[in-house]
Structure 1
Amino acid sequence: MRRTRASQPPPAAAVPPVSEDLDHQRLLTRVAWMYFMEGRRQEDIAQALHLNRMRVNRLLTMARESGVVRIEIDSASRPLVELEAQMRERHALKRAFIVPDAGGDERTLGNIGATLGMFLNDLLEDGMTVGTHRGRTCYSLFQGLRAASYPALSVVSLQGDLTPTGQVLPQEVVARLAVTLGASCHYLAAPTYARDAAERDILNGLGMVRSVLALARTCDVAVFSPGALVASQKRILKHLMTDRELDDILALGGVGSILGVIFDASGREIDHDINQRRIGLDLDTLGHIPEVVMVGLGPEKVDVMRVALRRGGITTLVTDEGTARAILAQEPRA
């Protein structure tokens, strides 16, 4: 019997070929997530996904252009972007990172440290020499710094690390930074200030001091925070100088120090022999290091940070909104 059309089985449904689009979209999303959400570097992503860096870069560009990643600038942050632009223009900086005030010095310092640490994650490479010094503000960089293995990187002290009182000051940065980066540590085993000129000459003549200072002069990156010299800091400053010295320095108009060199608000080194007794990298050399990062916050540091910016040589500034506005408010417009 002849089969009618109605009794014939329906044709098999067409099965679409497996599309490569879905795999591509998944890869695009995975690369974008690793880069923007996990904060991983393009080299790390390429290695993890067995891609080359050029393809990772192309995928990130496609993610932005296709709308997989949408970058929005929060209007509430716009004043900070404008403030960063003012600081860059006024002081010939390569970059300025200004974080919002977070409702307290400790929280704001944490935000500054996270920003500084993440910047260093992208900046540092094996084989570099990095200089820094102790202190609460520099120590904050560990909020954002990732552990790494840079066996050919050197971390070096920019100023004397010991104290005449024999106290180990808190927030030791140099040694911890070297451990975090898997790098070598070059500690300046001398006080910031010698007791007199004779002791200064003896210390500067020691081979271990000379070698560390020679290495410091070859730094690729220097991270420093200017010191505030105010009476309220006596508890910390007593390990660096006597109460009499601090009182004399304040009477001479000293407002702060840059790697131990003490300045007044006009930018002049104060006329006190403590400036001749310091042991550390000279400021002229600091100004010629390729990347000089200054970090600081707080009203007591405004004057000395302004002095440091006016001296020049700083490439990157990391601070908070209140400090940045106070610095700019004290300067005449160009």
Structure 2
Amino acid sequence: MTPSEARRDALEEPLSAHSPIARKDRDALLAARLYYLQDLTMDAIARELQTSRSTVSRLLTFARETGLVQIQVSDPLDSSVELETAVARRYGVRAHVVPHATNLNEAEMLDRVAMYAARTLTPFVESDIVLGVAWGSTLTAMSRYLNRKSTHGSTVVQLNGAANTQTMGLGYASEIVRRFGAAYDAAVEEFPVPAFFDRAETKRLMWRERSVRRVLDLQARMKLAVFGVGSVYADVPSHVYSGSYLDAADVASLAAERVAGDIATVFFREDGSSSGIALNDRATGPSHRLMRSVEHRFCVVSGPAKARSLRGALNARLVTELVADEATVRALLTLET
């Protein structure tokens, strides 16, 4: 056996012995190890893999796009690391801060955060996983940038209903979850119920129905949940506050109860509390208790106007991974001073 063959066997052995990773994933990982960890040139890797240089280039690109390789730029003048450390120290979450460019408007910044979040999410998605996805403008933007990653036995489940008095919301919410499903070769489970029932008693009765219980049981098995933060403070109101989901009495109730925001249409105050918020009794999103039991809670936020709402979500311990733009994180930390 030549030294090259021995090295290749050593690199491949853990994968071939125990992992169901597809051949392309395996080849991409091998090429990435040789390129990034052993400093081999693409020409040298092509010779070892007995393939062309262009194939090696495509494998390295595939490794980056699917999250097998993540490139981090270390800039001693970059404040992002300091901000990420400050958020981790204060709230015990892992933060990913997207640098802020002053020439970007709110929509452009959301688009940049969505792209960053989509790429950051990829390594968390595995085979045989139940992935819960909320709906909203942030998740709509994020769903357009999801990297393709092949999994098996995985399911994407909608976290909360989207129907209201004007629409069933099926096209809006289903488009998001279907994009997630397509990106990860996952089955899709929609949740065709209202965002809010008219009466709490109706919700209690519906939650006993076997067809609804099937979705609720699936949500209870979530290992990963992805969501944005709805905010009553945002310059551009979150979809739940502007899409005919709340009537005047609902809005007045939220104001009286000092609500700061919501995750998947379940509301909280800035201090993280949620007791006594009447609308939560009619909401179809997962309870905060259920959300806190999910291993990875992936929150995506764009816009400093959402800082108080984000603070409430963090105080409620609903987040483990945060992707947010620099201006939003600075506004969040300013609230603590």
User: TM > 0.5 between the two?
Assistant: yes
Aligned to 2:10: none
2:106 equivalent to 1:105 = yes
1:206 paired with 2:186, answer no
C-alpha separation between the residues in 2 aligned to 1:235 and 1:139? 11
2:283 aligns to what SS in structure 1? coil
- Name the CA shift for 1:211/1:164 in 2 (closer, same or farther; >3 Å): farther
Check whether the contact 2:259–2:270 (CA below 8 A) recurs between aligned residues: yes
The Cα shift of 1:64 comes to 8.9
**Could you tell me the percent identity over the aligned residues?**
23
Measure, in 2, the Cα distance between the counterparts of 1:108 and 1:195. Answer: 36
- The equivalent residue for 1:146 is 147
Q: Normalising by the residue count of structure 2, what TM-score does the alignment of the two structures yield?
A: 0.75
Aligned to 2:48: none
Residue 233 of structure 1 is matched in structure 2 by 237
Q: Kindly provide the amino acid, as one letter, of the partner of residue 106 in structure 2.
A: D
Mapped pair 1:308 → 2:313: yes
1:79 aligns with 2:79: yes
Which of 224, 248, 254 aligns to 2:253? It is: 248
Partner of 1:296: 301
Contact 2:268 2:313 in 1 (8 A): no
Query: What do the CA deviations read for 1:117-171 (whole angstroms, capped 9, x no partner)?
Result: 1122222122111001111112222343123443411001122232232253746
The residue that corresponds to 2:55 in the other structure is: none
* Coordinate RMSD, CA, aligned: 3.2
Of stretches 242-251 and 273-282 in structure 1, the one that deviates more from structure 2 is 242-251
SS of equivalent residue, structure 1 residue 241: coil
Amino acid in the other structure paired with 1:101: H
Which amino acid letter does the alignment assign opposite residue 182 of structure 2?
A: V
Amino acid at match of 1:61: L
Asked whether the equivalents of residues 294 and 314 of structure 1 are also in contact (C-alpha less than 8 Å), the reply is yes
- What stretches of structure 2 of length at least 5 have no aligned partner? 5-20, 45-70
Distance 1:228 1:71 in 2: 31
Q: CA deviation at 1:87?
A: 1.1
Bigger Cα displacement from structure 2, 54-63 vs 213-222: 54-63
1:175 to 175, 178, 203: 178
TM-score scaled by structure 1? 0.76
Task: Mark the structure with the bigger radius of gyration.
Answer: 1
Quick check: 246-255 or 161-170, which moved more?
A: 161-170
The answer to whether the 8 Å contact 1:196/1:277 transfers is yes
Does the Cα contact within 8 Å between 2:240 and 2:246 map onto a contact in 1? no
Alignment of 1:60-79 (within 5 A): 60-63=36-39, 73-76=74-77, 78-79=78-79
Q: 1:62 corresponds to which letter in structure 2?
A: Q
CA contact (8 A) 2:231 2:238 kept: no
Deviation at 1:325, TM superposition (A): 0.8
* 1:162 match: 163
Cα 1:183–1:101 shift into 2, 3 Å: same
Tell whether the 8 Å contact from 2:132 to 2:226 is kept in structure 1 after alignment. yes
Distance 1:115 1:212 in 2: 30
**Partner Cα separation in structure 1 for residue 119 and residue 23 of structure 2:** 16
SS in 2 for 1:141: helix
The question of whether the paired residues in 2 share the 8 Å contact of 1:200 and 1:277 is answered with: yes
Structure-2 change in CA distance of 1:292 and 1:72 (3 Å) = closer
Answer with 263-272 or 239-248: which moved more: 263-272
Separation in 1 of the partners of 2:226 and 2:299? Answer: 6
The answer to whether the 8 A contact 1:101-1:320 is kept is yes
Q: How does 1:206-225 map to 2 (within 5 A)?
A: 206-225=209-228
Number of residue pairs the alignment of both structures matches: 287
